[in-house]
Amino acid sequence: MQPNIIKKDSDSVLSDMGAAAKKASAILAQAPKDLINQLLKDLATALKGHAVEILAANKRDLDNTKDKNLSPALIDRLKLDEERIEAMANSVIEIANLPDPIGEILESTTRPNGLIIDKVSVPIGVLGMIYESRPNVTIDAAALCLKSRNAVILRGGSECFYSNQAFHDIIVSCLEQHLLPRACVSMVPDTDRSLVGAMLRAHEFIDVIIPRGGKNLTAMVMEQAKMPVFAHLDGNCHVFIHASAKADFALEVVRNAKLRRTGICGAAESLLFDTALEDLFAENIITMLLVEGCAIVGDERVQKLDERIQPATEEDWRTEYLDKKISIKYVDGVEAAIAHINEYGSHHTDAILAEDSQVAEEFQNRVDSAIVMHNASTQFADGGEFGMGAEIGIGTGKLHARGPVGLRQLTTFKYLVKGNGQIRPA
């Protein structure tokens, strides 16, 4: 299949896909948990069995990036290998083995008149997913949506078109093997950007839209979507090093938070030094970053620690670099750190390194982010690390889904009321 093949009007294409997905969602909602779990296990097996075809498709995508001037971080997100395919398959198995999120009685109340009111978890219906660069999102989203009994319409980025198509072919084969509609997991078969707008207008079919990508994509979705959005804003993640932090401990956490994988949303982008921190402590961290090839911009005091540090601008404090670059600033204690993060951060993931438990508690209680770490790398901001098997993204909004968006966040609820002839008095 080639990109840009759609001949029909974009709204007509999405209308057809949406209607099919809505019909499929009603069937999927009633699918037994054993069938779904076996489907997911078969999907994991199929991923490993089709690794050659997946890598061939991925190579086509990588070859197409050579003239697009993509950053190393974006290429890293796009690139697949046998180890990553194996990890994806293992993630699908983890999702299959998680408790079923549907039909759970969340609350139960018996009223004085004898009415029994149960609050029960149910699927949302049809989800729309728009994402960039990461073909693994195709598998994560499909597995989570199937387990939570939601149909999903996927629209990946043009840079991973062939990889996504390879994954979708495998998913469809597994659905058909288990006699479930193909439209349980749909893939927009074209890179035409008009189809994104059509998705955002298809509110009669799509119940929730989920963007996963850069700041511009998320802003566009939030502005244009005619249905609710699970917002996944950029990951301008901070690490604040308090004066009570352990030096060797802090060095390794910062190394991991910034450099383990620079292109993921949980990578640290800003480092805050307590003004009471010893210069040698700060210098060792800066030296480590520079030796590892990480560019640094900082305030005046930070620049004095090494001549290779460039001055930071106001915009640097708000920037998600997704690369080997970090901004560093001195702040006067935990109060100033909290104020800085709440002003410049993206409410994604922020961390404090401190042995003073009262300071750490203050930081965690008052930093207004979806995930707040104490003495741990920000790169643990991941659904798999939270025991969710995988995630569709990190929700940075405050309603319904916040933090890793896993199985439970992809459900809603309804009330089941049981009576024995009660009538309401006049």
More confident residue, 265 or 6: 265
Is the Cα dihedral 66, 159, 318, 277 positive or negative?
negative
Nearest to 250 by CA among 263, 241, 259, 261: 241
**Res 5 pLDDT > 70:** no
The per-residue pLDDT for 233 is 67
Nearest to 37 by CA among 117, 97, 122: 97
User: What integer is the mean pLDDT of 86-98?
Assistant: 94
The per-residue pLDDT for 70 is 76
CA distance 215 to 212: 9
Confidence of residue 285 (pLDDT cuts 50, 70, 90): very high
The fraction of the chain above a pLDDT of 70, given in percent, is 97
β-pairing, 116-123 vs 105-110, is antiparallel
The per-residue pLDDT for 395 is 76
Q: Label residues 38-75 b or e (16+ Cβ within 10 Å = b).
A: ebbbbbbebbeebbeebbebbeebbebbeeeebeebbb
**Res 84 pLDDT > 50:** yes
* 3-class secondary structure, 248: helix
**Res 2 pLDDT > 60:** no
Over residues 224-275, the pLDDT tens digits come to 999 998 877 678 999 999 999 999 899 999 999 999 988 888 999 999 999 9
CA distance 389 to 407: 9
β-pairing, 349-353 vs 237-241, is parallel
Q: What is the pTM of this model?
A: 0.81
The per-residue pLDDT for 6 is 46
Nearest to 296 by CA among 271, 262, 322, 265: 271
The per-residue pLDDT for 134 is 84
State the DSSP code for 377.
Answer: -
The per-residue pLDDT for 302 is 97
Strand order of the β-sheet with 151-155 is 185-187, 151-155, 126-131, 208-212
**Res 8 pLDDT > 70:** no
Over residues 42-77, the pLDDT tens digits come to 999 999 999 999 999 999 999 988 877 777 777 888
Q: Where is average pLDDT lowest: 29-38, 160-169, 224-233? A: 224-233
Q: Where is average pLDDT lowest: 31-35, 119-123, 146-150, 264-268? A: 264-268
**Res 389 pLDDT > 70:** no
Is the Cα dihedral 346, 332, 286, 241 positive or negative?
negative
Q: How far is CA 71 from CA 54, 82, 255, 323, in A?
A: 23, 22, 21, 8
**Res 186 pLDDT > 90:** yes
Tokens of 198: 């059509």
The per-residue pLDDT for 113 is 94
Q: List, in order of start, the domains of the chain with CATH numbers.
A: 10-232+405-417 (3.40.605.10), 237-380 (3.40.309.10)
**Res 354 pLDDT > 50:** yes
User: What integer is the mean pLDDT of 281-302?
Assistant: 97
